[in-house]
Structure 1
Amino acid sequence: MDWELVGYAAAALTMFGFLPQLVKMVKTKSVDDVSLFMMVQMGLGVSLWLVYGLHLKNSPLIVANLVSLLILALGITVYFRYTTRRYFI
Structure 2
Amino acid sequence: MQLTDIFGFLAATLTTASFIPQALHTFRTKDVRGISLGMYSAFTAGVALWLVYGWMLGEMPIMIANAITLSLALAILVMKLRYHEDTPNQ
Alignment TM-score, normalising by the size of structure 2:
0.82
Q: Deviations over 1:32-66 (max 9, x none)?
A: 11111111111111111111111111111000000
- Structure 1 distance, partners of 2:25, 2:49, is 27
Match of 1:28 in 2: 29
Q: Which runs of 5+ in 2 are unaligned?
A: none
Match of 2:84 in 1: 83
- Structure 2 distance, partners of 1:59, 1:5, is 14
What is the identity, as a one-letter code, of the residue corresponding to 2:56?
Answer: H
Q: Aligned Cα RMSD in Å? A: 1.7
Q: Does 2:15 match 1:14?
A: yes
What is the identity, as a one-letter code, of the residue corresponding to 2:84?
Answer: T
- Structure 2 distance, partners of 1:74, 1:61, is 20
Shift of 1:78: 1.4
Q: Which runs of 5+ in 1 are unaligned?
A: none
**Identity, % of aligned positions:** 35
Q: How does 1:48-63 map to 2 (within 5 A)?
A: 48-63=49-64
- Structure 2 distance, partners of 1:36, 1:81, is 11
Shift of 1:81: 2.4
What is the identity, as a one-letter code, of the residue corresponding to 1:62?
Answer: M
What is the aligned length? 85
- Structure 2 distance, partners of 1:22, 1:81, is 14
